[in-house]
Amino acid sequence: APRPDHRKNRKMLVGRRAYTTKGRLARVLRAARGLHPRFLHAAGKRFGQIKDFNLADIGEGIAEVEVLEWTVSEGTRVEEFDELLKVQSDKAATEITSPYEGTVVELMVKEGDMAKVGLPLCRIEIEGEETEGMKEVKESKATLTSSGPAVKVDEGNEQDFTEGKVLTSPAVRRIAKEHGINLRRVPSSGPKGRILKSDVIQYIQDGGLPEAESIPEERPANTSTPALSGTSVRVSGPQTAVPSSQAETFKMERDQVVAVRGLDRIMVQTMTAAHSVPTLLYSDEFPVNDLIKIRKTLKPIAEDMGVKLTYLPFVIKAASMALKQYPKLNSHVNSDCSEYTMKSTHNIGVAVQTDSGLLVPNVKNVQDKSILDIARNLAELQSLGHSGDLTKHHLSGGTFTISNIGSLGGTVCKPLIVVPEVAIAALGKFQELPRFDDEGQLYKATVMNVSLSADHRIIDGATVARFSNLWRSYLECPDKMLLNSH
């Protein structure tokens, strides 16, 4: 028998698709084109437009992200705003959702590989015309690039990034933030509960008012001496050093090869960059007897205001006041160290232990905040770290970093600078030690060792010493902070 003309059959079948079956169409297409089976699922359903879904430019100089996990596979049908994958940048781990409704045709990047900005993550066969949600994504992009001064968004422009349970675009989040609007209170009209810009505008016109945020209390650190709660504390529970006799042990039957991925890979990059900086190390002892007394006095007052007051807000505020006198330590240096920028704002980073690893969000504009404001911000950052909702906004823009090794029992270390910053401090644990007063009388002193690392290319040792002395004076005599605060 003569061989059938499959090209003719295929043309006829495509033109009269309503009168064919998926199985027959698949057989004809396979014979005519030798297509991969994964294409047949989409082909049997409809011949929609296939679009490359590219990784958008997320700013902050980030050129690539690591693909942690695909939550879909080839052939998976996705709705608009369904999660596609999880990625890790040098700022945060983020979920990326689909702007299209259709079928995933091909995954372009494997798990564990690096995805480049502007290159495809996957290919999706789109069903139907452009939806309202897709138009809103484009509208968000246009808003961010055309109105007013430059605005840094949380993660990307074309992708929708989920934050908590609220589904919306970066532009809508910016509008809500500018007006002090809690998005969880805004009625949504978009698909799958997505909040559109028109929803926020309508909420404002209807008299929606900003709400005071409810900040969870910080968890007290379980230490024998006073602890600087808020840095390097696992927010899912008290962080304490575990004696070796109590530590959980396990027996390994054979060697294990562990891939360096996620935050571990980011740590490799960060520490490699830090190692390239010639570092000056300076350490001093800060007396904190009077700090303990004033905190004891103010703690119940703060609790009446709904704030858990620890020692760390005092330390951060005192550092900011010292940075006003020595702004060079609050700088960013460019890659070849040909210039540095003294920052007008004090965004002080603190290390927060999360389930994903150690992250360093920062308290914004410390120079303009009270100690109570700083305490509220620290509690909020801990809560966001615990829930996995820290975004690039919280993790970027730091100008000076404080790490609390004292929460684990340490006293002195050499902290590594977070490039492009030029200085970092490590706080030791509180220790009760014998000391002599000005009259030569022995007394019991509570002291904290502070270790400072500075970029020795632009900062000399004398500047670091003077900064440390001023910082220490504020904590040694907290009343001095009241006289100099403004």
The domain that contains 166 carries what CATH number? 2.40.50.100
**Helices within 84-192 (DSSP H only):** 132-146, 170-178
Same domain, residue pair 4 and 74 = no
Contacts for 279 with CB less than 8 Å, ≥ 6 apart: 414, 416, 417, 453, 454, 455, 456
- Residue 168, strand partner residues: 195
Q: Give the count of beta carbons closer than 10 Å to the beta carbon of residue 479.
A: 9
CA neighbor of 169 nearest in space, from 189, 196, 142: 196
The total number of structural domains that make up the chain: 3
In the chain the first and final C-alpha atoms are separated, in Å, by: 96
CA neighbor of 317 nearest in space, from 223, 400, 413: 400
Is the residue at 412 inside a domain? yes
Q: Rounded to 10 degrees, what is the CA torsion of 47, 48, 50, 54?
A: -160
Question: Which residues of the chain are modeled with pLDDT < 50?
Answer: 6-46, 131-164, 209-227, 229-247
Amino acid of residue 322: A
Containing structural domain, residue 274: 263-484
Is the residue at 190 inside a domain? yes
Same domain, residue pair 166 and 40 = no
pLDDT at 248: 55
Is the residue at 250 inside a domain? no
Q: Rounded to 10 degrees, what is the CA torsion of 36, 37, 41, 43?
A: 40
Task: For the sheet with 362-363, list strands across it.
Answer: 279-287, 442-455, 423-436, 400-404, 348-350, 362-363
Is the residue at 464 inside a domain? yes
pLDDT at 299: 95
373 catalytically annotated: no
Is the residue at 189 inside a domain? yes
36 catalytically annotated: no
Cis peptide before 420 (omega within 30 of 0): yes
Q: Distance between CA 279 and CA 426 in Å, rounded?
A: 14
pLDDT at 31: 45
pLDDT tens digits, one per residue of 94-143: 788 888 889 999 999 999 888 998 899 999 998 765 544 444 444 333 33
Q: What region does 164 belong to: left with phi over 0, alpha with psi -120 to 50, or beta?
A: left
Is the residue at 302 inside a domain? yes
Same domain, residue pair 37 and 90 = no
Same domain, residue pair 121 and 1 = no
Q: Distance between CA 212 and CA 190 in Å, rounded?
A: 26
Same domain, residue pair 58 and 5 = no
pLDDT at 198: 78
Q: Which candidate in 336, 460, 479, 486 is catalytic?
A: 460
Same domain, residue pair 352 and 293 = yes
pLDDT at 8: 47
pLDDT at 213: 36
Residue 376 phi/psi, 5° resolution? -65, -45
Is the residue at 234 inside a domain? no
Task: For the sheet with 83-88, list strands across it.
Answer: 93-97, 83-88, 64-70, 114-116
Q: Give 340-343's long-range contacts (Cβ < 8 A, gap of 24+).
A: 340/422, 340/458, 343/399
Is the residue at 218 inside a domain? no
Residue 333 phi/psi, 5° resolution? -110, 145
Q: Beta 348-350 vs 400-404: how paired, if at all? A: parallel
